[in-house]
Amino acid sequence: MASEQWTSYLLEQVRQLPIASSKQQVQFRLNTITSESLRQNQTIPPQFEFIFQGFLYSRSGRLIESINLFFDAITFAQQNKQEFLICFCHYNIGTIYGMLGNYFYAHKFLTKAEKSNPVGDGYIIGLIKNNIGDIFLQLGNFNEALSHFEEATLLLQQHGHKLSAAVPLFNIAEIKAKQCHFDDALDILSTLFDDIKEDPQFLGFYYKIKAEISNDNIDDAETFHLLSIENMCRCQNDYYQAAMILEYCQYLTSHHKYEMLDAYVESGLSIAKSIESDKLIDGFNDIILLRIKDIPVIEIREQYYQTLTSSLLNSRRELLKREGDYLQQLYRLNTAKLQLSTMRSLSDNLALINKIGQYINHSTDLQSILPTIQQDLSSLFQIDTLALGFYDKETDSISIHYIDENHTPKAPYITNCKNEATYMSYCIKSDSSFYFNHMNSEQKVTMLGDKCDKKVHFKSVMFSPIKINDEIQGGFTVQAKESYQYQAFHFELFTQLINYISIALENQYNRQQLLYLSQTDHLTQVWNRKSLDAHFLQLKKQPSNIYTSIMIDIDHYKEYNDTYGHISGDKVLIKISKLIKEHFHGLNTEVYRYGGDEFFILIAGINKEKTQKKSHSLLKAIKYLFIPHEKSTCSHYVSASIGISYIEEGLNTLTLSQVVDRADKALYKAKEMGRDCYYDFSQTEALIQ
């Protein structure tokens, strides 16, 4: 198994860890990857070791030790730029702080995980939202809790395994029961039962809520409480076992059933202390205080109250202070260590992005430096392909320039947006930057529709539209074949890079526009005389330098202006220049407005027959505009004359003036022969139209 495949395997094993409800199940998964590492001759990186051990400790009730292991895992994950693992550890640290009853830190880490979680991994987002909802539930904010649980349910139903949505649904049912909406709670429980009846942890939750719903029926409620404890004992999750015992003790206290209470309080408090959960310890201590208050004989009650409560409260205060100080110290030390590591990494990465941005901004052809961009970006994150797409709004198509994993530029290809839906077209048309890390074919079809290629070639991608002068002109992407390659930190760097690319392309576009404006005739939009001078110098350097030169003149144009006005004269120039471009279009042909009503054409190569046909066709098209010209001596309508010359000895021996002069002399011959015709020096006479 290749190194990348082994990392992907480990990432998926980590992703599935929340399914393991007991320490035995976590241990089984740890044993499995250990065996697989030996079989594949692979090592398990320390960040993965710490995460599995952290999970094992959390399921074993060693909560504070578990937090330390997850912090250690983050340190190594940051060094390897594994943002998914960092997010996953933040999620678990927040979850454990919630189990300890420290809701401030719980909310802090869970929201950090929510913000940094990879877009597209709905399963992890769903777990995070459920645990944030649980904090609001514990604090009694039912509306906020319900909102998070409902979001979590939708995400886990769509992206999780079969039973993953059961957790937020149980939480919703619990809130409904607390709000006395018993029918709603029972409906949820009945829909879940067939799926969870073989899972002891879910059965524990199920019977706990049934007990709450049946609270008025003492015998049924007690039966359900005992079933919830029994199932939590079966799944060997110490935290939930203690939590179910506490629920039962609260039930016994509220119904003054003290014969069983003392034994269960002692058992539950022992487990709560072993896992160091302030929340559960406080709950059992409250039960003890209520128990003392309910002793009927006043003298005995006072005696117990003064001795037990004094000792209990003093010890509890000291315990809370010690635990509070320790947890705060733990938080400060670890976050300071992580912030230092992050700042160093951030500084280095931003420096590289700035370096890339500088040479992008100085580039006159961004496509030519794509391999360099890919090579530099590869030090930040995995890149199996990189692409730059330019959108043509008129044809609704995208021209895509891309580089493969071997840093090899590929020939650009065109994708038609009407016929095929792609990530690039979605990015451009929705003006959306996005990234995801675990795309499958179903999710791809959901995102892009049936017109997309349903096969997933790259599981991790980042996309962003590119704006030039505040208008979307294209898109940029980097992609990796394996899952979980791009996270929030990478995406921030990627969007920073997009700013440089957009500025560079905008500068490039504006330079081209300025150059175009300086070299084109503003009226007819063909090249101007200044550009002819520049182009001619370039053409003389070409290996092939035989050319056809053509001069076109509108017949009696001055008289037309004098008769119909200069505005009408400009319209004639525009229409005729358009016809000239239509007849003499091509990669090896350039059209220039030489001056006034004169147009010059330079064609690479010589094809006398084709040139004559085009000239004949052009003169006919001009006549067929049927623009009246009463002052013309050669036609009732606007017409033109054409002179054609061939440079067969090559441009190297001639100046531009000599080339133009040859075509001009041919034009003069056409005028001598009565105008409204073309004259070709290879012909013996003018060809009248």
The residue whose two tokens read 């976050």 is 335
pLDDT of residue 639: 94
Element (H, E) at 341: helix 310-361
pLDDT of residue 274: 76
CB atoms within 10 A of CB 180: 10
- List alpha helices for 475-626, DSSP H: 488-519, 529-539, 557-564, 566-583, 608-623
pLDDT < 70: residue spans in the chain = 1, 117-120, 276-278, 292-350, 360-366, 407, 484, 487-489, 511-516, 543-544, 587, 683-689
The DSSP-derived string for 508-547 is: HHHHHHHHHHHHB-TTT-SB-HHHHHHHHHHHTTSS---E
pLDDT digits (tens, 9 = 90+) for 549-575: 999 999 999 999 999 999 999 999 999
* Structure tokens, 343: 């700042």
Instruction: Give φ, ψ of 235 to 5 degrees.
Output: -85, -5
Cα dihedral angle (515, 518, 519, 525), rounded to 10 degrees? 110
Instruction: Give φ, ψ of 552 to 5 degrees.
Output: -120, 135
Q: How many residues does the structure list for the chain?
A: 689
* Structure tokens, 298: 């006043």
CB 105 within 8 A of CB 94: yes
CB atoms within 10 A of CB 374: 22
Candidates 566, 573, 565; CA nearest to 599 is 573
CB 605 within 8 A of CB 614: no
674 SS3 class: coil
Element (H, E) at 480: strand 471-480
How far apart CA 120 and CA 438 sit, in angstroms, is 7
Chain-wide mean pLDDT for the chain? 81
Q: Is 436 exposed, middle or buried (0-12, 13-18, 19+ CB in 10 A)?
A: buried
pLDDT of residue 515: 67
CB 148 within 8 A of CB 155: no
CB 130 within 8 A of CB 169: no
Q: Is 157 exposed, middle or buried (0-12, 13-18, 19+ CB in 10 A)?
A: middle
CB 119 within 8 A of CB 141: no
How far apart CA 49 and CA 54 sit, in angstroms, is 8
CA 371 from centroid of its chain's CA atoms: 22
Name the maximum alpha-carbon separation found in the chain.
140
pLDDT of residue 398: 92
Dihedral sign for Cα atoms in the order 142, 145, 150, 151:
positive
pLDDT digits (tens, 9 = 90+) for 439-498: 888 878 888 888 888 888 888 899 999 888 778 889 999 998 887 677 666 787 788 788
CB atoms within 10 A of CB 680: 23
* Structure tokens, 217: 């029926």
